[in-house]
Structure 1
């Protein structure tokens, strides 16, 4: 089982997105996602969040909002508990990322990028400013086959 963080940094109607193109064995290869990564031993979600954002972007978070916990169940990868955050409070200078290309993308255009189907569901929840949520996503290969929001079936 994996614990991870994912953050969508916000700036003037844009999200900072990462196009995953550089890692050899990458479950997210070719997809656009927010920034974040796996917990290190002993880290809390906020410690992991701040470290991963700094490592991947060069930016230092000065504030953030926990938005939900997303459980990924996959036929190909270990189960993952992802702690989802947004932030519009950060400082520093954006630098290149070793895992792919970073780009500020207008929020209205994010849905047109190559995304995981489940990411579309939680991005919609973010756009609707949903209260803190638990979202379970079940995949067979790259196909999203089931979703549940706060324990109830959620339409795909």
Structure 2
């Protein structure tokens, strides 16, 4: 019996400026709209590290340095693929801030994130970025019931 499975790898990055504000994106994609952190898909034969740098640059105009992995979100899709979101944090960046077709980007006080229309389950992911003792957000769906687990 094979232990391999189909998987989709994505990333997301908390980018913090010297004032302690974080960069958010107001996503316009219909499959996951709302305020979240910038990020996207890992391309074939691309490292996870390079993918988060590329995605942030494409979506924000900023080039991040030394992104640090701080957690993982994962779940099974309806097509039985494992969907993995690698969560990173970065405090060092350069470039000129700009939005993209993915959505506008802007700086917010992290304490005020809940005042924005957040993307679905994004609020449940925040401990991955805020609490060093938390490393994984996992959920499973059983019919209409969703069971969230934070590790």
TM-score under structure 2 normalisation? Answer: 0.82
Deviation at 1:44, TM superposition (A): 1.3
Deviation at 1:7, TM superposition (A): 0.4
Partner residue in 2 for 1:64: 67
Say if 1:14 and 1:107, in contact at 8 Å, map to a contact too.
yes
Equivalent residue runs for 1:1-150 within 5 Å: 1-11=7-17, 12-21=19-28, 23=29, 26-29=30-33, 31-75=34-78, 79-116=82-119, 118-127=121-130, 129-131=131-133, 133-138=135-140, 145-150=146-151
TM-score under structure 1 normalisation? Answer: 0.80
Which one has the bigger strand percentage? 1
Q: Deviations over 1:4-24 (max 9, x none)?
A: 010011112211111012x4x
Say if 2:69 and 2:88, in contact at 8 Å, map to a contact too.
yes
SS at match of 2:32: coil
SS at match of 1:38: coil
Q: Provide the aligned C-alpha RMSD in A.
A: 2.5
Say if 1:76 and 1:140, in contact at 8 Å, map to a contact too.
no
Q: Deviations over 1:64-98 (max 9, x none)?
A: 21101110335599541000001111111112212
SS at match of 1:95: coil
Distance in 2 (CA, whole Å) between partners of 1:49 and 1:81 is: 13
Deviation at 1:145, TM superposition (A): 2.0
